[in-house]
Amino acid sequence: MNKTISEIQKFEDNEKKLKSNKSFVLKNVFKNVAKLEVDDSVSSEEKEHFNAKWSMEIMRNGRHLEFFVWWEPITHLEENWAIETKMEYSMMGSDDYNVTKTIEHCFDSYKEYYKFSRFVEWEDINEYLIDNNLTVQVKVEILEIIDFEEERIRNFDESQEEDSDVILVVGYTKFYVLKKYLALQSSYFKALFFGKFSESQKNVVELKDVDPNDFQKFLELIYGESSVNDDNVTGILRLADMYDAPTAIRRCEEFLMEKSKKSMVQKLQLSLRCNLENLKNKCLSEVSTFSDVESIIAANLPEFNFSTSKALLQKCIDFSKK
C-alpha cells in the first residue's frame, strides 16, 4: 500500500488537449506452436476496428517464423482507397525474451495484408513459448485513411447546398451546413460566424487540424443522429470539447457511461481530459481493489489531477482498513 500511495502523490495537475487517436491493439495466444510443420500456419479470430476486420496469422516458413496482419473492409470500397498505418509487432515470452519490431505500411485494394517474412529464427522459437503457446500482439496506429470511412448516416455534401449558407472545408472534404444551427450547438461557431471574426463574412471557412471523418460524426451527432460508438467517441469528444458543444459532450458522456465497452481506465482518461464529472465519478466508484488502483497508475495518465489522486488515496486508505 505504501508504494501505491507514494506513486499517487507523484501525479501532477496536468490538463492536456485530447488528441485524435485512431489506434488499437490486436493480441492473441497461438497454441501448440512448436508442433507447426514447414508451411503450416494458424490465424487469430477477426476483430472489428474502424469499420474493418483485422486478424493476425503466424506461419512457419523454413528456418523462420512469418508474421501476418490481415485487413478486410466491412463495407464495399472502390478501387482507389488506401490506409496508412504504423504497426508495432511484439512477441512476449518468459525470462525477458521479448522481441518488438515497428514498421509503416499502406494497405490498399491490391494488398490487404502485411507480411513480416523473417520475424524470428525458428530455432529460437522455444525461447518465446510458455507451455508451448506463443503470445503475440500488434499495436496499430492509423496514420491516414484515403477514401475509406464508415457509412454516412446523414449527408453534408453538395446535395445540401440549397439548404446551407456556409461551406466548412476539413482536409479535402467540404461540409455544407447552416451557420445558425451550428451556432446554437456550439459557442465556438457562434463566435466564429456571428462575432467580429473575418470568417463571419465568408461563405467558405477552413477548419484546420480536424479529421474529416471525426467531423462528419460530430455533425451527425449534433444533428440528432445516433452515431457514437467505441471507435469514434474519442474523436467526436475531442471536437465537442474543442468547439464547446454541450449537447455533443453530454451524448458522448452518456454513451461512455451506459453502452461503451472501453475499460474503466480508458473512460477515466477521457473523463479527465474533457472534464466529464459524472463519468469520472462513475469510474472512481468502480475502483474496488488495490489492483484497480494499480491499473490506473500503470496507465500513467498525463491528465491526472490532484482531486483524482486524492480520491484514489482515500480508496487505498479505506481498503487498508478492511
- For residue 163, the tally of other CB atoms under 10 A from its CB is 9
pLDDT tens figures, 123-143 = 888 888 888 889 898 999 888
Axis crossing angle, helix 306-321 with helix 277-285, rounded to the nearest 10 = 20
64 and 102 both lie in a single domain: yes
What CATH number is associated with residue 49?
2.60.210.10
Same domain, 298 and 183: no
Q: What is the pTM of this model?
A: 0.59
Residue 84 or 10, more confident: 84
Distance of CA 308 to the CA centre of its chain: 23
Domain interval for residue 130: 23-146
Residue among 167, 179, 178 at smallest CA distance from 203: 167
Does residue 215 lie within any of the structural domains? yes
Specify the pairing of strand 82-92 against strand 134-146. antiparallel
Within-domain flag for 153? no
Residue 151 lies in a domain: no
Q: How many CA atoms lie within 13 A of 20 on its CB side?
A: 17
Q: Final residue of a domain: which of 258, 283, 307?
A: 258
| Residue 37: Cβ-neighbour burial (10 angstroms; 0-12, 13-18, 19+) | exposed
Helix axes 246-258, 277-285, angle to 10 degrees: 10
Whether residues 122 and 139 share a domain: the answer is: yes
Confidence of residue 149 (pLDDT cuts 50, 70, 90): low
Which grid cell is 231? 471507435
Name the burial class of residue 77, with classes exposed (0-12), middle (13-18) and buried (19+) by CB atoms within 10 angstroms of its CB. Answer: middle
Number of folded domains that form the chain:
3
Mean pLDDT, to the nearest integer, of 161-178?
A: 90
Same domain for 200 and 289?
no
State the average pLDDT for the chain: 83
| Assigned domain for 152 exists | no
> Which residue has better confidence, 93 or 284?
284
Is there a single domain that holds both residue 293 and residue 231?
no
Let me know whether 59 and 105 are in one domain.
Answer: yes
Kindly report, residue by residue over 187-212, the tens digit of the pLDDT: 999 999 999 888 888 999 999 888 88
The answer as to whether 129 is a domain residue is yes
Residue that finishes a domain, picked among 146, 175, 190:
146
Mean pLDDT, rounded, for 29-52: 88
Task: Report which of 199, 204, 138, 145 is spatially closest to residue 170, judged by C-alpha positions.
Answer: 204
3-state secondary structure of 287: coil
CATH number of the domain where residue 228 is located? 3.30.710.10
Domain stops at, among 233, 258, 283: 258
| 44 plus 90 within the same structural domain | yes
Based on the fold, state whether residues 171 and 278 are members of the same structural domain. no
Question: Do 167 and 218 belong together in one domain?
Answer: yes
The pLDDT value given to residue 55: 93
Amino acid at 38: V
**Strand 166-170 versus strand 204-206 pairing type:** parallel
